Amino acid sequence: MSEPKLPTVNKNVSKDGRLDIQNPHLTDMDEDVLYHIALSNKTHDLKDMFGDVKFVCFGGSPNRMRAFAEYLVPELKIKIPAGQTLCNIAHGSDRYVLYKVGPVISVSHGMGIPSLSIIFHEIVKLVHHAGCRDVVFFRLGTSGGLGLEPGSVVITDEAVDGLLRPYMDLVILGKVVQHSSQLDPGLQQELLSLANLQKDNYQTLVGKTMCTLDFYEGQARLDGAFCDYTQKDKMAFLNQAYNHGIRNIEMESLCFAAYCHRAGIRGAVICVTLLDRLKGDQITTPHSVMEQWQTRPQKLVVAYIKQKLGIQ
């Protein structure tokens, strides 16, 4: 397998491609327990286990991230010896699942920013302890679309919060700190070019993504347990978002983008849309169709990975 050549873009990445971790306290610690994935740099040889990782793929659902790992095996021409199988490396915890297939980690992040935040911290520390170089992060997700045919794929160019602001508020030591949620434009264009090559029967586009702290009221749905607004209020807000350039709505991109930016990691968010929120709230598409749609971001990321690894 040839060494992938990935340009580094951020001052936070050191010259040899290793992550410069943004926490001086870590070097003073005897042991670092990655609690939510049940690993530690003392009880596990993280360099040996993960040193060759080049791509980390995050997604909300544990089943989907296992399926993605299984999909990677033939695509990356990985040979698993007879009598062996993929396993969930984080099996000591039931908070997330974590698979490794060649140079790719497939990890679940649960739902919402706080759940993503925890696993992002622990994966960055894992990548750091393992001494990985030039790692690229992807979030492969599902979302509600705005003005798009359901099943369309959105590559996020900017993540905004529920107030349409392109940064993330973090509350640290009783103060609000803001971090830019800018993502890597070069990576977006690389992905879009690959999508255009694939001649799919669905649309893949670059657009803004709104990231909310709630699925119901936060996304202007009328079908939650609480709702104090009208259909007209809802449509006014969704149209405002559309006019702002927002093409889909989900619950993790803001944190993913802000943390990638802080860590100096090239990252991309690729989400399929399960419905058009300008037309409704409820997700009623048959399960089997949605299952198929959910492989679309995976297919694009696999094409990218194969290109970088020189696999035909």
Asked if 90 and 108 touch (Cβ cutoff 8 Å), the reply is: no
Of 138 and 259, which has the nearer Cβ to its own copies? 259
Annotation-wise, does 95 bind a ligand?
yes
Annotation-wise, does 141 bind a ligand?
yes
Query: What distance lies between CA 265 and its chain's CA centroid?
Result: 12
Applying the rule CB under 8 A, the residues between 4 and 23 that interact with its own copies are 21-23
Of 54 and 109, which has the nearer Cβ to its own copies? 109
Annotation-wise, does 245 bind a ligand?
no
Of 140 and 194, which has the nearer Cβ to its own copies? 140
Residue 140 φ/ψ, nearest 5 degrees: -110, 110
Tell me which amino acid residue 81 is. P
Asked if 130 and 51 touch (Cβ cutoff 8 Å), the reply is: yes
d(CA 189, CA 89): 33
Annotation-wise, does 139 bind a ligand?
yes
Least CB distance to its own copies at residue 187 (A) = 20
Applying the rule CB under 8 A, the residues between 203 and 242 that interact with its own copies are 212-218, 220, 222-229, 231, 233-234, 236-237, 240
The region of 24-32, 47-55, 82-90, 300-308 touching its own copies under the rule CB under 8 A is 24-32
| Residue in this structure with the two tokens 């909310």, named with its chain if needed | 212
Query: Does an H or E element contain 139, and which?
Result: strand 136-145
- Rounded alpha-carbon distances, angstroms, from residue 177 to 171, 213, 282: 6, 17, 35
Total residues belonging to the chain: 312
Binding residue for its own copies, selected from 68, 259, 293, 304, defined by CB under 8 A = 259
Of 191 and 238, which has the nearer Cβ to its own copies? 238
- Is residue 172 a contact point for its own copies (CB under 8 A)? yes
Least CB distance to its own copies at residue 30 (A) = 10
DSSP 121-188: HHHHHHHHHHT-BS-EEEEEEEEEESSS-TT-EEEEEEEE-TT--SEEEEEETTEEEEEE-B--HHHH
What residues contact 128, with CB distance under 8 A and at least 6 apart?
18, 19, 21, 26
Applying the rule CB under 8 A, the residues between 35 and 74 that interact with its own copies are 35-36, 60-64
Applying the rule CB under 8 A, the residues between 74 and 133 that interact with its own copies are 92, 94-95, 110-115, 117-118, 120-122, 124-125, 128
d(CA 213, CA 11): 30
Least CB distance to its own copies at residue 227 (A) = 4
Q: What is the pairing mode between strands 55-59 and 136-145?
A: parallel
Annotation-wise, does 277 bind a ligand?
no
Annotation-wise, does 142 bind a ligand?
yes
Applying the rule CB under 8 A, the residues between 129 and 168 that interact with its own copies are 161-164
Contact pattern from residue 176 through residue 205 relative to its own copies, giving x for each residue in contact according to CB under 8 A and a dash for the rest: x-----------------------------
What residues contact 149, with CB distance under 8 A and at least 6 apart?
202, 203, 276
d(CA 63, CA 238): 31
Least CB distance to its own copies at residue 88 (A) = 13
Applying the rule CB under 8 A, the residues between 265 and 304 that interact with its own copies are 282-284, 287
What are 132's two structure tokens? 């990985």
Tell me which amino acid residue 100 is. K
Of 191 and 263, which has the nearer Cβ to its own copies? 263
- Is residue 254 a contact point for its own copies (CB under 8 A)? no
**Residue 76 DSSP class:** T
What residue numbers does the annotated binding site for phosphate cover? 95, 139-142
What residue numbers does the annotated binding site for substrate cover? 219, 221
